[in-house]
A and B are shown apart, each in its own frame.
Chain A
Amino acid sequence: MSTATAEHHDHDDHGPAKGWTRWLYTTNHKDIGTLYLLFALVMFFIGGGMALIIRAELFQPGLQLVDPLFFNSMTTMHALVMIFGVVMPAFVGLANWMIPMMIGGPDMALPRLNNWSFWIMPFAFLLLLSTLFMEGGGPAGGWTLYAPLSLQGGDSFAFVIFSIHFMGISSVMGSINIVATIFNMRAPGMTLMKMPLFVWTWLITAYLLIAVIPVLAGAVTMLLTDRYFGTSFFSAAGGGDPVMYQHIFWFFGHPEVYILILPAFGIISSIIPTFARKPLFGYASMVYATASIAFLSFIVWAHHMFTVGMPLAGEMFFMFATMMISVPTGVKVFNWIATMWRGSMTFETPMLFAVGFLVMFTIGGLSGLMLAITPADIQYHDTYFVVAHFHYVLVPGAIYSIMAATYYWMPKWTGNMYDEKWGKIHFWVSTIFLNVLFFPMHFVGLAGMPRRIPDYSLQFADWNAVATIGAFGFGFSQLIFVYVVLKCMRGGEKATTEVWEGAEGLEWTVPSPAPYHTFEKPPVIN
């Protein structure tokens, strides 16, 4: 069989397959990383469109545009899409691209599983989004799917639960792959305490995911059987307890919050040293702080539930445990500032986004400390103050870190420098509108505006109008991001191998663009 032997050449230099099947069948970590990132970008605009429907209705008091039920379904879907469809896939995409290159491994440990993890996602979200077009509309009981309200909707509910199971399977497989990669694919000499922080934070995140996604799966399955198979897990009439759902949900939900932010910590810990031209301050304490946050994330869940009528001792415990989280989080912020201190800083777009992250994530962290104070939380709970808080940690937190990472590593991915001028414009326009959008939410929340309402009292009118202007500004300024990314993919000034003057790490030792296969022979690490 001469042809067979002829085709069986050395794999060192072969590139991607031709045609669209390249993307369907690919087991290459870079291809799959790209797929995840593009998927997240598309979902970002879908979830953002939903947010704009919400903000458009809230522009003025009175109901002008949508039925309250559809409004509820928009708030529910916006959250599900942004959390499961944007932030998580984007982080997995970054992990796919960067972890093998950062640890000097040739690919992910389980490439075929990797392909499957990704390709489940589009189907999960098709299923979820299709519920909007079913009779009775999409889920409208909030993304937390609290029983008994979530059991009231139309039959699209079964599809929502099925799609959550899909997303969960994808996340767990992705996480297993990341853990397996980090433990098995490191180049000789790449000890655990030499790994870049992005790898560390993802390792811890992957463990969090493996621990809590099955809990979510259990919770939603119990909803399913309550709804369709006559069980009474969450119905007092049958001996169950609606609050038990909340406990189970938030046992997943709080670690989930850290799943959405720990990889961001890793990204920021990569970017700030590069542009300060100075090594990361307190590497070891950063690793320990990440691990502490992950541990604490399992014992604070009921701070989402201070009004459900817990025993006093429970409220005390969860208040103190929640306050404790600010210690390791503070350590991280201080370490980043100490990294900047007496550095030699420049402010290219990735650094701008990282600094934006640092400032606004700190604002979100401080309002989080306020929320930890239980007696005050009883006033803040379920108001726009909470909405302001978690958007400050998720948008300029998680989303900004993803954008920072994109600008930072895009030259390595594409081989071209992005357009610096438009990158900076993107940062400034986004940052201004983002604060116009979210900062007034603190005010209306404190003044008494509950969340998840389609219409409000006249006293909240001015700030809601301001927030809506901010929302449209922020939403449309993301088109600049798309423009910069597309332009960079198509060409531009050629990037050097090192790309950034102060960059350290194995990913900056391979050519730009990174070849289809990297580190097939492990690099030497000193």
Chain B
Amino acid sequence: MRSPINLAVSWVAAMSAVVVSQTAGAAVSDINMPVGVTPLSQEVYGLHMLIFWICCVIGAAVFAVMFYSMFKHRKSKGAVAADFHESTTVEIIWTAVPLIILVAMAIPAAKTLIAMEDTSNAEVTVKVTGYQWKWHYEYLDSGINFFSTLDAEHNRARQVGSGVDLTQFDHYLKEVDNPLVVPVGKKIRFLHTSADVIHSWWVPDLAVKKDAIPGFINENWALIEKPGIYRGKCTELCGRDHGFMPVVVKAVPEEEYLAWVAENAPAPVLAATDSTATATAATAAVEEDADREWAQDELMAKGETVYNQVCAACHQANGQGLPGAFPAIAGSAIATGPQDAHIDVIYSGVQGSAMASFAGQLSDVDMAAVITYQRNAFGNTVGDTVQPSQIKALR
């Protein structure tokens, strides 16, 4: 049985959607909350429109009385001031009536809130870890894990004074290299945490927003009803590139999802009972790469790509850093000093600074390449190479 209040919420939501879509057409998505594609997002939209209309009615009534009074009770119209200054009756009425409205509003809001917090019986669990400034996704069931960063083309376009024509992009600043792939029709539980500062993972169409807090795990959930690509952003200020860590969720039918899992899972998923075994098997190909000797040219070429994706956000594309905030790579004592110290900074990070540990973020090859690159670019001329095997030995 649905309560009258729940019915009211759905009715208001439905009516608002109709009114708004007929009057404003496609433009409405630019000025109102999306209805979204989960049962919860639709409930939230209903609550939003209900409280919105309540506020409109209250506002209209208050302003009507006020403006009537301002036009009617003016001195220039000969109004003579009355002398009343209290009335217990009206004061009780205008305290009680808002209270009743609030209680009526609080009931459906509390119901939705309870549903939002119920993450039990999830069929898929994804651990989302915030990094400055990218997301890492880990499917706890299949062991698939990867980073998701702002698309390289978008990243180039958003540099200060890039001069790139932004209209060429369909979803400027909302495109990533690796989107999160999830099935429709399944309850998906998200676990949120962070590797550095607080982030917040938000997808408006799913009505999920949760802070990613270092050292703690938060959770929420979504059941997506419609296949599609849903885009969001980080919503907790997390440093210089807070505006540039989008979230892209690709919701696909279950068969497609299973095929994607089969293709990307580190090992046969069904057979995998031991997660470390899975991980080891999966990285076999990568390891082969890590074991061979790399030439300096190879490392430099790869290092430049990695540098621009990972390091340039702080240390800048020209390696000059931002004085006081992010040290320069060009001519730095670390990048031109002993290899071990340089490797240690990248591998372990620097405590108490924005310099994160990249041991978990970059492969042996990427790390070796970017260190080699830093030692031999921006006017640094150490001339040596760091081999992937050196990084591997640290693990």
Q: A residues touching B (Cβ–Cβ < 8 Å)?
A: 61-69, 72, 134-137, 140-142, 146, 148-149, 151-156, 227, 235-237, 241-243, 276-285, 307-309, 312, 315-316, 319-320, 323-324, 326-327, 330-331, 333-334, 337-347, 355, 358-359, 362-363, 366-367, 369-370, 373-376, 378-379, 381-383, 442-444, 446-448, 450-460, 462-463, 502
Contacts and interface: CB of A to CB of B under 8 A. Distances in A.
Contacts of B98: 326-327, 330
Contact of B169 (A279, A376, A458, A460): A458
B34 interface: yes
Given A149-B198, A447-B30, A382 B48 contact: no
Interface in B190-236: 192, 196-198, 200, 202, 204, 207-211, 213-216, 218-219, 232-236
B260 interface: no
Contact of A378 (B65, B197, B209, B324): B209
Nearest to B40: A375
A243 B30 contact: no
A314 to B, nearest CB: 11
Nearest to A144: B237
Given A136-B325, A320-B106, A446-B33, A342 B79 contact: yes
B354 A344 contact: no
A344 B74 contact: yes
A309 B210 contact: yes
Contact of B161 (A63, A319, A320, A323): A63
Contacts of B325: 69, 136-137, 153-154
Given A67-B322, A277-B81, A379-B44, A448 B233 contact: yes
Given A136-B325, A319-B109, A452 B81 contact: no
Contacts of A382: 200, 202, 209, 235-236
By Cβ-Cβ distance, the 4 closest A-B pairs, closest first, are: A236-B215, A136-B324, A135-B324, A453-B243
Contact of B166 (A61, A69, A316): A61
A281 B29 contact: no
Interface string B82-110: 11111100110011001100100110011
A99 to B, nearest CB: 23
Contact of A66 (B31, B160, B171): B160
Interface of B is mostly: mixed
B215 to A, nearest CB: 2
B86 A375 contact: no
Interface stretch (B112-120, B135-143, B284-292): B112-120
Nearest to A375: B112
B352 interface: yes
A442 B106 CA distance: 23
Contacts of B243: 68, 450, 452-456
Nearest to B163: A62
Interface string B124-140: 00000000000000000
A284 B86 contact: yes
22 contacts: A62-B157, A69-B325, A72-B242, A135-B323, A140-B239, A149-B197, A153-B325, A237-B214, A277-B81, A279-B85, A283-B85, A285-B91, A307-B209, A312-B114, A323-B102, A337-B65, A342-B81, A342-B84, A378-B44, A450-B243, A451-B235, A458-B167
Contacts of B173: 455-457
B94 A331 contact: yes
B210 A342 contact: no
B234 A450 contact: yes
Interface of B: 29-34, 40, 43-44, 47-48, 51-52, 55, 58-59, 62-63, 65-66, 69-70, 73-76, 79-87, 90-91, 94-95, 98-99, 102, 105-106, 109-110, 112-114, 116-117, 157-162, 164, 166-167, 169, 171-174, 192, 196-198, 200, 202, 204, 207-211, 213-216, 218-219, 232-244, 322-325, 352-354
A345 B158 contact: no
Given A146-B237, A355-B66, A458-B169, 5 more contacts: A279-B85, A312-B117, A319-B110, A339-B85, A355-B70
A373 B107 CA distance: 10
B86 A281 contact: yes
Contact of B113 (A235, A319, A443, A455): A319
Contacts of B90: 334, 338
B239 to A, nearest CB: 6
Contact of B215 (A67, A237, A280): A237
B252 to A, nearest CB: 22
Contacts of A62: 157-158, 162, 164, 166
A327 B73 contact: no
A309 B216 contact: yes
B386 to A, nearest CB: 27
A452 B242 contact: yes
B235 A337 contact: no
Contacts of B353: 152
Contacts of B197: 148-149, 152
A136 B353 CA distance: 13
Nearest to A336: B66
B47 A373 contact: yes
B169 to A, nearest CB: 7
Contacts of A142: 237
A389 B99 CA distance: 22
Contacts of B48: 370, 373, 376, 379
Contacts of A502: 81
B85 A327 contact: no
Given A72-B240, A279-B83, A363-B59, A340 B70 contact: yes
A385 to B, nearest CB: 9
A323 B106 CA distance: 8
Given A72-B240, A148-B197, A278 B83 contact: yes
A458 B172 contact: yes
A135 B321 CA distance: 12
B131 to A, nearest CB: 13
A379 B204 CA distance: 7
A5 B98 CA distance: 67
Given A307-B210, A346-B74, A149 B239 contact: yes
A451 B169 CA distance: 22
B105 A373 contact: yes
Contacts of B105: 323, 373
Contacts of B322: 67, 69, 136-137
A327 B95 contact: yes
B102 A326 contact: yes
A457 B200 contact: no
Contacts of B240: 67-69, 72, 140
Contact of A242 (B62, B169, B213): B213
Contacts of A148: 196-198, 214
